[in-house]
């Protein structure tokens, strides 16, 4: 090779190497900037949702993640007002039943999206005895007490605070339930925190402390329809519940104390089954507490729901021992929800992670008693994806 050609070749090689290195650098920078952009894409905004009947300001918080998932939470009732989720084509739909305006939540509605407390689900005979003292609660469900009473945690205004870290956006809601409120003993300071991250997880964390022994069982009462709220019934959603047993109930839906195997019965969702496949064999539809299969005390798989037309999947993990599966049996077309949609029977389902119904009167069930000096803490994670 001639000297001139050699120099030319070396020059060309160096240029190629430089070009490749430069490209790599650019890709890395591009990747980094997408990362920054995606973090930036997680946002939280606050707007006015209106005023309570006694003139107090109610705010609506919108949490958005990098994948376009958007959760809206109201400081009144600590309510999940809406949840926008992409389908397998990326098309968004609101998968939670509820109302567009705050006024809807002042009506007599069946707990759409709300935080339920001080005690989620039923307490038999609307009373319980703790340390030898009988406490009488409101009988707001026949002779029984349901979802915290006449003015439960779903009908009070919570103090709200925004949260934004590098991993998640959220809203922290605080409420002080007074000693004697709805008949319950003890001042109970409660904190409910909703957070959303870029792994498409909506986490609800609950904490409470008391100054007198009391009972606590907090949950969220979202009615899901993964095909989109108001779009039809949920009977073709495929449901798996990680539970071999459920608590048998009497006609007032109070547990008898028997935990029965789901095996060979329409209660069995250990393998995914369309909700509607055996619902006509369950008088009144599903409204039962399942005893979750658990190992340890940490988060464990509770349920998975797949909606075949949209491909949306909801997976629930919880530290709670039970889940109330309610198939929207009492929805009857009398309520007009978001975008004017009418909510007919079975247009939504609930999976309320919880301690078992009537636990204050069932010493054999996991305890719901909270003592002064102890901290109540529970968490449920909703993970969303498509398939
Ligand atoms: C209960 C149902 C009740 C519904 C709405 C569910 O948690 O199990 O019986 O009708 O909430 O109040």
Residue-wise pLDDT tens digits, 186-198: 999 999 999 999 9
User: What is the reported pLDDT for 39?
Assistant: 53
CB-ligand 1 contact for 324 (6 Å cutoff): yes
Out of 326, 327, 350, give the residue to mutate to test ligand 1, the one with the largest number of ligand atoms within 8 Å of its CB: 326
Determine the distance separating the centroid of ligand 1 and the alpha carbon of 193, expressed in angstroms: 23
Q: Give the whole-angstrom CA distance, residue 379 versus residue 206.
A: 6
Q: How many A from CA of 356 to the centre of ligand 1?
A: 14
pLDDT at 300: 97
Give the nearest ligand 1 atom to 330 CA. 10
Q: Express each pLDDT in 56-89 by its tens digit.
A: 999 999 999 999 999 999 999 999 999 999 999 9
Angle at alpha carbon of residue 156, lines to 150 and 162, rounded to 5°: 150
Strand partners, 173: 160, 192
Q: How confident is the model over 329-347, as pLDDT tens digits?
A: 999 999 999 999 999 999 9
Query: What mean pLDDT is predicted for residues 202-206?
Result: 98
Q: Are 304 and 240 in contact (CB under 8 A)?
A: yes
Residue-averaged pLDDT of the chain? 92
Q: Is the pLDDT of residue 96 over 50?
A: yes
pLDDT at residue 27 is higher than 80 = no
Residue 143 CA to residue 124 CA, distance in Å, equals: 7
> What whole-number distance in Å separates Cα of residue 215 and Cα of residue 199?
34
**96 and 113 in contact (C-beta within 8 Å)?**
yes
Residue 41 pLDDT level (bands cut at 50, 70, 90): confident
Mean per-residue pLDDT for 220-224? 99
Residue 295 has a pLDDT of 86
Distance 179 CA to ligand 1 centre (A): 26
pTM of the model: 0.90
In percent, how much of the chain has pLDDT > 70? 90
Residue 212 has pLDDT above 90, yes or no: yes
d(CA 15, CA 280) in angstroms, rounded, equals 74
Instruction: Give every CB contact of residue 91 below 8 A, 6+ residues apart in sequence.
Output: none
316 near 382, Cβ under 8 Å?
Answer: yes
């Amino acid at each position: 090779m001639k000297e001139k050609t050699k120099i030319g070749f070396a020059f060309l090689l160096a240029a190629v190497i430089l070009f490749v290195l430069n490209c790599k650098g650019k890709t890395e920078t591009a990747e980094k900037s997408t990362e920054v952009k995606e973090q930036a894409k997680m946002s939280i905004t606050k707007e006015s949702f209106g005023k309570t009947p006694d003139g107090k300001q109610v705010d609506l918080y919108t949490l958005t993640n990098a994948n376009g998932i958007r959760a809206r939470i109201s400081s009144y009732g600590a309510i999940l007002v809406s949840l926008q989720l992409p389908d397998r084509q990326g098309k968004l739909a609101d998968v939670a039943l509820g109302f567009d305006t705050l006024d809807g939540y002042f009506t007599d509605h069946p707990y759409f999206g709300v935080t339920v407390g001080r005690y989620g689900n039923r307490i038999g005979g609307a009373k319980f005895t703790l340390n030898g003292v009988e406490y009488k609660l409101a009988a707001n469900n026949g002779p029984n007490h349901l979802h915290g009473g006449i003015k439960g945690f779903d009908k009070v205004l919570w103090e709200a605070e925004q949260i934004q870290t590098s991993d998640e956006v959220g809203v922290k809601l605080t409420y002080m339930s007074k000693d004697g409120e709805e008949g319950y003993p003890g001042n109970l300071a409660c904190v409910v925190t909703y957070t959303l991250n870029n792994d498409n997880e909506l986490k609800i964390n609950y904490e409470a402390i008391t100054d007198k022994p009391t009972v606590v069982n907090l949950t969220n009462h979202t009615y899901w329809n993964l095909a989109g709220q108001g779009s039809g019934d949920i009977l073709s959603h495929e449901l798996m519940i990680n539970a071999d047993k459920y608590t048998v109930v009497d006609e007032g839906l109070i547990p008898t104390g028997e935990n029965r195997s789901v095996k060979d019965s329409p209660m069995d969702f250990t393998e995914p089954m369309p909700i509607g496949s055996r619902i006509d064999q369950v008088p009144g539809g599903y409204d039962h507490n399942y005893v979750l299969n658990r190992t340890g005390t940490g988060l464990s798989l509770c349920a998975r729901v797949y909606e075949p037309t949209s491909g949306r999947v909801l997976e629930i993990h919880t530290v709670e021992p039970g889940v109330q599966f309610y198939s929207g049996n009492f929805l009857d077309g009398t309520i007009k929800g978001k975008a004017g949609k009418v909510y007919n029977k079975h247009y939504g389902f609930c999976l309320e992670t919880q301690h078992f119904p009537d636990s204050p009167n069932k010493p054999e069930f996991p305890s719901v008693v909270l003592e002064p000096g102890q901290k109540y803490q529970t968490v449920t994670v909703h993970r969303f994806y498509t398939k």
